[in-house]
Structure 1
Amino acid sequence: MTGADPVLLSLTLPLASVIAILLVSIFWIYGRKNGADSKLPPGDKGWPIVGYIFSPFKPHPATTLGDYLNIQFSRYGKIFSIRYRGKTLVISADPEFNRFVLQNEQTLFQNNLPSGFKAFMGEGSLPFLAGDVYRSKKSLMVAFFNSWQIQSRFLAEVEEAAKAVMTSWRQRRQILADEEINKFLFNIAIAKAMGMTPDDPEVEELRKAFIAAYDGFYAVPTSLPFTRYSKALKARDIICSIVKRKAEDRMIRSDKMDEKENDLLWYCLKNSSLTSIQNICYEVVGFIFAALLNTQNTIALAIYLLGKCPKSLRQLRDEFKQNDTDALANLTWDAYKKMEFCQSVINETLRLGNIVPRLWRKTLSDVNYKGYIIPQGTTVMTHIAAMHLDPSAFENPNIFDPWRWLVIKKSNNWMPFGGGARHCIGSEIARIEIAVFLRHLILNYDYELVESDQPVASPLVKFSTGLPIRIHSVGKMTP
């Protein structure tokens, strides 16, 4: 074996030294830039230049924060900063700061959802608007929600949708709860959005397209064939084509429309500022996504958590029976309002399950907060899940304990529906849907969890196998 070439060694060693010096310099400069002299909240910035890529959002049980965030909060407190994919990200579990962020939207902060949401919901949908355009469209949606007459007609419509879905269970002993909840909510949403019924042949096609689109929200944005993102884009095109066709049909026969149709298409066509087909598509698609995602996950989590806590399941069934003069009759508004423990179950599910674990905002200018300076253009994550799982606010925060809400009437750490200008305008509607579905399930069936399907945040909450449950008829009540 011959020895190393002295000429090659004479070139390689100095080059290696230069590279080493450059790397050390980069680390030193980066450390200075993000160290003690920085007025950002403290934090571990990760690798030079890129920072972190995956760590903050690794899949983890939905009722926990995951190892990464637990470590960061224990090290740096309730507000810290990192470099995430090359950009500064401030993460907060501080209730005071989070309310400051949400209440100062459109003055100091703006909504900053991940790009995948915009690709599927459309840049003209409500979450991506600001200023006068946002206020105008929000007022339209508030008027639309108010037209549902929640205390009478809407409650009855939700009851009928629950009965229709559960009627199909009569000859079944096992169901995928996630799938059945999705059908229930989609039938309500599609009726309110476009006046369609489950008998319409396009309804099932639309439902499956929405599921595929939802699956691509956080997928890596690549259009290569057979990727989740590519499939989601195709699903979006199917949705938009059906919505546009329905809108065009309404416009053709606009002289024959009246308020009896009372769906979102009618409201959009009635409003002169939303007459473009593209804008109508944005509104309808955004509305259906909003009606499905969080409420579906909440109902599934409630079924899961109740299944793990037989005592709470028994008490909820007792309350449902006590508040119904006739168990076969539709739920009345008065009976619904008396269901205190049911509302406690919903509150605890929203707290522990963390359906919306985080909200994204971006600074519109430099923000000075208690000595920290957060530069313009910085993304701020108000971490709702961290507030909900804070042991200083909730005793034994990782335990499902709906009874705590019989004592707690208000908590600054509880923000399941957001806050400020973008507080969820459909929060009461979602509560009604959750309560009605649980009522029909629990009065009709005993159920048990079939396998150890755990709710996982990845980052949206989901059950990997669709939450299979085994059902058995109970009592004399039939759907």
Structure 2
Amino acid sequence: MWVIGAFLVTIVAISYIYSIYKWRTPKSNGIPPPGSMGLPLIGETLELLIPSYSMDIHPFIKKRITRFGPIFRTNILGRPVVVSTDPEFNNRIFCGEGKMVEIFFTDTFNDLLGIGGKDSKMGGSGAVHKYIRTLALTHFGTERLKAGLFTEIGNMVDHTLRLWSTLPAVEVKNASANAIFHFTAKHVTGCGQEKLPKNFWEKFKNIRQSFMSIPIRIPGTSYYRCAKDKEEVLNTLKGIMEEKCSSPQTRGGGDVFDHAIADLNTQSFITEDFVLLLTFVITFVSFDSVSSVLPIVFKCHAENPSASKELEAEHEALLKRRRENRNSPLSWEEYKSLTFTPHVINEILRLANLVSGILRRALVDINVKGYTIPAGWMIMAITHASHLNPDVYKDPLVFNPWRWKDIEARVTSKDFMPFGGGGRQCAGAEFAKAFLASFIHVLVTKYR
């Protein structure tokens, strides 16, 4: 019996060791990128989720760059992942969508927003992606900004900062997200803040905070509450949609909802469910990125008096050239005439880490720098790493807007991608930069 027991223990031990070996040595048709697969099932997820309170590259990424180089493998929630901080390879990924890679998001992200995955309603390529991008650019792109949206942004910023100035303290990230949310929600749904439910903003904020939760729909879990909030938001949007459809006279306001309703059934995928989800997604993605940047605007403005003085001088000179009301919003022509402010915005965007990681899934085996990324593996492109590359940006953690006076076009095309790259570069990029310029204008001309 003792011999049999020892034999069984040996078999179990060998099986366990073999399973660990297979986990840590993934199958590949070539040499996979160097790295570690971490613990079984959870991989290296826990270390990646530890918050970083620095503007530098996340410690998880930085440590592995030092050890393995700019392209390495890891495992997140049981999925093999290749992390790339190499700007050339990242650009190759963005330009190779549909042939080399496809868009990919986490299960939670896909379940809540319908973006990514095989059954994606919103993240597909071809006609669906083209329609969504065209719709977003029509309502938030350059031509719409010129036609009056930029002036509306200026008025909203003026109202917001006037309100903040009456308060004893302001938590900038949350307060700005609230303001931007209601501004964009009006242009998406056609409803002002007074017509939306009082807790509408809170629902979106709760959904945003639950993206890294495990997608288990059990009462009491973060994901369950998040799913319930999404359901309530969609019900609200459905009510608005039904009112618009039953009363055509309420339409014609030029909002995203009106546009999408007018397009119903003109293409096979433009169904009522699609329009509801589209409206939800555009409202959701519109407020988070810019509100993440504004705290850095204050930080850099407060800590860099020389940059602040040059900003103030540029905007004061602009006001002196005006013959009309000095208090009128920044015009599009004035915005385009600014020279130092765009440098400040670029530098803030470089430091802001707007996009932590862009996910794609390999459709075929991909050869890069002597390694092979197997088909089916996830690829996480870390564009922020190139923004902090000391070989490109001297003293990368130092706020230095003057560096942009002499930066080559090659750098801005490959080593500066705050809004992603390729055909999926953020359609709201121009909106975000215009908003920041308007915010800076009001801030430096009216407030301390």
What is the TM-score with the length of structure 2 in the denominator? 0.88
Contact map agreement 2:24 2:38 (CA 8 A) in 1: no
Contact map agreement 2:141 2:428 (CA 8 A) in 1: no
Structure 1 residue 97 displacement after superposition: 0.5
Structure 1 residue 193 displacement after superposition: 0.4
Residues in 2 aligned to 1:45 and 1:138: alpha-carbon distance in whole angstroms: 36
Residues in 2 aligned to 1:148 and 1:243: alpha-carbon distance in whole angstroms: 27
2:131 is matched with which residue? 136
SS of 2:164's equivalent in the other structure is: coil
In the superposition, relative to structure 1, how do residues 125 and 429 fare at CA in structure 2: closer, same or farther (>3 Å)? farther
Matched, 1:66 2:58: yes
Structure 1 residue 378 displacement after superposition: 0.9
Identity of aligned residues (%): 23
**How many pairs were matched up?**
435
2:438 is matched with which residue? 436
SS of 2:379's equivalent in the other structure is: strand
Which shifted more, 74-83 or 166-175? Answer: 166-175
Matched, 1:418 2:424: no
Residues in 2 aligned to 1:62 and 1:227: alpha-carbon distance in whole angstroms: 29
Contact map agreement 1:148 1:154 (CA 8 A) in 2: no
Query: Counterpart amino acid of 1:101?
Result: I
Matched, 1:310 2:310: no
Matched, 1:115 2:95: no
**Alignment deviations for residues 35-80 of structure 1 (CA, whole Å, 9 cap, x no partner):** 9x94222222334565323223421125122322222111221111
Structure 1 residue 247 displacement after superposition: 0.8
Structure 1 residue 393 displacement after superposition: 1.6
In the superposition, relative to structure 1, how do residues 88 and 167 fare at CA in structure 2: closer, same or farther (>3 Å)? same
Structure 1 residue 439 displacement after superposition: 2.1
1:160 is matched with which residue? 155
Contact map agreement 1:34 1:45 (CA 8 A) in 2: no
Contact map agreement 2:114 2:121 (CA 8 A) in 1: no
Of the three residues 185, 188, 191, the one matched with 1:193 is 188
In the superposition, relative to structure 1, how do residues 392 and 82 fare at CA in structure 2: closer, same or farther (>3 Å)? same
* Structure number having the greater helix percentage: 2
Residues in 2 aligned to 1:147 and 1:247: alpha-carbon distance in whole angstroms: 27
1:169 is matched with which residue? 164
1:54-453 equivalent positions in 2, closer than 5 A = 54-123=46-115, 128-145=123-140, 149-200=144-195, 202=196, 204-254=198-248, 256=249, 259=252, 261-271=253-263, 272-273=266-267, 276-324=271-319, 325=322, 327-410=326-409, 411=411, 412-446=414-448
Structure 1 residue 163 displacement after superposition: 2.2
Query: Counterpart amino acid of 2:131?
Result: S
SS of 2:170's equivalent in the other structure is: strand
**Alignment deviations for residues 264-298 of structure 1 (CA, whole Å, 9 cap, x no partner):** 01100111337632111111111112211111111
Structure 1 residue 139 displacement after superposition: 2.9
Query: Counterpart amino acid of 2:437?
Result: A
Contact map agreement 1:352 1:398 (CA 8 A) in 2: yes
Residues in 1 aligned to 2:305 and 2:121: alpha-carbon distance in whole angstroms: 40
Q: Which runs of 5+ in 2 are unaligned?
A: none
Which shifted more, 102-111 or 332-341? Answer: 332-341
What is the TM-score with the length of structure 1 in the denominator? 0.83
SS of 1:88's equivalent in the other structure is: strand
Query: Counterpart amino acid of 1:304?
Result: K
* Structure number having the greater strand percentage: 1
**Alignment deviations for residues 178-235 of structure 1 (CA, whole Å, 9 cap, x no partner):** 23312321232012101222333x2542212111111111222233334332222222
Query: Counterpart amino acid of 2:15?
Result: L
Residues in 1 aligned to 2:108 and 2:421: alpha-carbon distance in whole angstroms: 23
In the superposition, relative to structure 1, how do residues 180 and 29 fare at CA in structure 2: closer, same or farther (>3 Å)? closer
2:14 is matched with which residue? 21
Contact map agreement 2:121 2:274 (CA 8 A) in 1: no
Q: Which runs of 5+ in 1 are unaligned?
A: 1-6, 447-479
Contact map agreement 2:388 2:396 (CA 8 A) in 1: yes
In the superposition, relative to structure 1, how do residues 385 and 235 fare at CA in structure 2: closer, same or farther (>3 Å)? same
RMSD of equivalent CA atoms: 2.6
Q: Which has the larger radius of gyration?
A: 1
Residues in 2 aligned to 1:199 and 1:29: alpha-carbon distance in whole angstroms: 58
Which shifted more, 432-441 or 223-232? Answer: 223-232
Which shifted more, 410-419 or 229-238? Answer: 229-238
